[in-house]
Structure formats: C-alpha cells, structure tokens
C-alpha cells in the first residue's frame, strides 16, 4: 500500500546553488547528500515533514553526474523543474508487481538502490499521464544511511 509522498524529485543544473535557494527562501536544510553512480545523480534530500506511516516527505534535488543519465537527458530537453514524484510503501516488491499487473510498465525487474539505502523502482511516465513515478521502500530507521 502506498502510504505517503516520499519525495518530489527536482532536476537542477547546479546542486549547491539550488540547495542555497531552498535554504535562503524557505529555511529548508539539507538532511542528506549522496552520489548515486548507477542513477547518474548527485542529490540532496531536504526533509519537509514526518508522515503518519513512520516515514517522511522530502524534496530530492538532483544534479546529473553525466549527460547521458536520465536526469541529464531530461534537463537538456526541458531545463530545470519537477522531474518525478515518489510514493512510499512498506512493500515496493509487492506494490510494483500489483501495478505491473494493471498494465503499467515498471522499469526495473527488481528494485534498485535509492537514497539513504532505500529500494526503488519507477513507472513509465507514458503510462502515468505524463508523470515519472517512483515507488520507494525506505531502509529500516537503524540502517538508514545519512
Ligand atoms: C522522459 N519523459 C518524461 C520524463 N522523462 N515524462 C515525464 N517526466 C519525466 N521525468 C518522456 C519524454 O518526454 C518522452 O516523451 C518519453 O518520456 C521518452 O523519453 P526520452 O527522453 O526518450 O528518455 P528515455 O526513454 O531514454 O528515458 C525516460 C525514462 C528514464 C523515464 C525511461 O528517464 C528513466 O529510466 N527514468 C528512471 C530513472 C531516473 O529517472 N533516475 C533519476 C532519479 P515524448 O517526447 O516522446 O513525448 S534517481 C532517484 O530518484 C533516486 C536515486 C532516489 O529517489 O533515491
Ligand atoms: Co527519486
């Protein structure tokens, strides 16, 4: 069951400048940063609020580490902006299978590694009314890398 908005992914050209905009404008602080080479991103997670399922909602600011990455290609075509939304679930495997059975393309056969040790997969935007949609299961709090 999808129980929260886990994050909104925002593509940017310059992570440090974008982090500074969110800090100076809204007072949001960086909770976590990492490079995910598989996904081709350097990212910052800004925690916005905790959620009733024991998780939290974040903004995920994403700078590409290479031009041919998903975010690099998207930025070249669209410029900066909202790139994806992510729903949180305790069971990314079961939920993605159930959604695949409804005829929506799930991009990975098995969930891959996401931010802070999470497990993630994506649904094709063309099957989701134009929205690239991610499903996330967070690592247990004790194992969360941050
Ligand atoms: C592409 N399209 C999008 C889109 N990206 N539509 C809405 N939102 C997006 N973000 C549209 C695009 O305009 C095209 O439509 C069509 O899909 C095919 O796009 P393309 O430019 O030819 O690109 P593809 O097909 O090579 O790649 C698109 C997909 C790719 C979605 C397959 O971006 C992908 O695999 N994304 C999943 C991985 C990812 O996004 N990683 C970065 C975040 P028209 O023009 O033909 O109509 S990593 C992350 O979130 C992490 C680590 C985390 O949360 O922990
Ligand atoms: Co994401």
Sequence ranges of the domains in the chain: 2-141
Ligand 1 in contact with 61 (CB < 6 A)? no
Q: Could you give the CA distance from residue 140 to residue 26 in angstroms, rounded to a whole number?
A: 29
Residues 6+ apart with CB under 8 A from 96: 106, 111, 121, 123, 135
Per-residue pLDDT of the chain (146 residues; tens, 9 = 90+): 999 999 999 999 999 999 999 999 999 999 999 999 999 999 999 999 999 999 999 999 999 999 999 999 999 999 999 999 999 999 999 999 999 999 999 999 999 999 999 999 999 999 999 999 999 999 988 888 66
Topology of domain 2-141, per CATH? 2,3-Dihydroxybiphenyl 1,2-Dioxygenase; domain 1 (3.10.180)
Side-chain half-sphere CA neighbours of 104 within 13 A:
23
Cβ neighbour number for residue 9 with a 10 Å cutoff = 21
pLDDT at 143: 84
Residue with tokens 């993630």: 120
Ligand 1 in contact with 73 (CB < 6 A)? yes
Ligand 1 in contact with 74 (CB < 6 A)? yes
- Residue 62 structure tokens: 């994403």
Task: Tell me the ligand closest to 115's alpha carbon.
Answer: 1
Q: Model pTM greater than 0.95?
A: yes
> 69 CA to middle of ligand 1, Å?
9
């Amino acid at each position: 069951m999808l129980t929260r908005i886990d994050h909104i992914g925002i593509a940017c050209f310059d992570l440090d400048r974008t982090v500074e905009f969110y800090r100076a404008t809204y007072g949001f602080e960086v909770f976590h940063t990492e490079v995910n080479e598989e996904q081709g991103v350097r990212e910052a997670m800004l925690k916005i609020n905790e959620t009733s399922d024991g998780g939290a909602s974040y903004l995920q600011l994403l700078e590409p580490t290479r031009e041919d990455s998903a975010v690099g290609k998207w930025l070249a075509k669209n410029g900066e902006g909202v790139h994806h939304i992510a729903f949180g679930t305790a069971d990314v495997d079961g939920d993605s299978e159930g959604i695949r059975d409804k005829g929506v393309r799930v991009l990975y056969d098995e969930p891959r590694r996401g931010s802070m040790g999470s497990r993630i997969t994506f649904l094709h935007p063309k099957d989701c009314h134009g929205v690239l949609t991610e499903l996330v299961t967070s690592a247990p709090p004790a194992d969360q890398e941050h």
